[in-house]
Amino acid sequence: QKEVEQNSGPLSVPEGAIASLNCTYSDRGSQSFFWYRQYSGKSPELIMFIYSNGDKEDGRFTAQLNKASQYVSLLIRDSQPSDSATYLCAVKDRGRRALTFGSGTRLQVQP
């Protein structure tokens, strides 16, 4: 079982809708959780990070963490065509410096 699981998609949503991206992780000791956006042919760029259970909001983005269920999600409100990209979930385990990435979910926002 991969340590960080994401649905590969594509997830297609109409412009203006809420996009919901999900990620599960296997290590209960994981401490920090990150969402990266990656446009085709470009490097990953950080969208949000979350450490504590609950919600964290930043503009149109909300990260949600449920450590009991080992689940982290990213909500994108008022989705725009420019949000079309692959979204990578990454987890930092206790005692490790490196992040473990999922395979990413491709999001398509239809104009």
Partner 1 sequence: GAGVSQSPRYKVAKRGQDVALRCDPISGHVSLFWYQQALGQGPEFLTYFQNEAQLDKSGLPSDRFFAERPEGSVSTLKIQRTQQEDSAVYLCASRQGDSPLHFGNGTRLTVT
- When asked if residue 46 is in the footprint of partner 1 (CB under 8 A), the reply is yes
Structure tokens belonging to residue 12: 């297609």
Q: CB of 109 within 8 A of CB of 19?
A: yes
Query: Cβ 47 to partner 1, closest distance in Å?
Result: 10
Phi-psi region of 104 (alpha: psi -120 to 50; beta: other; left: phi over 0): left
- When asked if residue 21 is in the footprint of partner 1 (CB under 8 A), the reply is no
Q: CB of 11 within 8 A of CB of 107?
A: yes
Query: Cβ 64 to partner 1, closest distance in Å?
Result: 19
Selected from 21, 33, 34, 64, the binder of partner 1 by CB under 8 A is 34
20 closest CA partner among 59, 76, 104 = 76
Query: Cβ 43 to partner 1, closest distance in Å?
Result: 4
Q: Which positions lie near partner 1, rule CB under 8 A?
A: 4, 6, 8, 34, 42-46, 49, 88, 90, 96-104
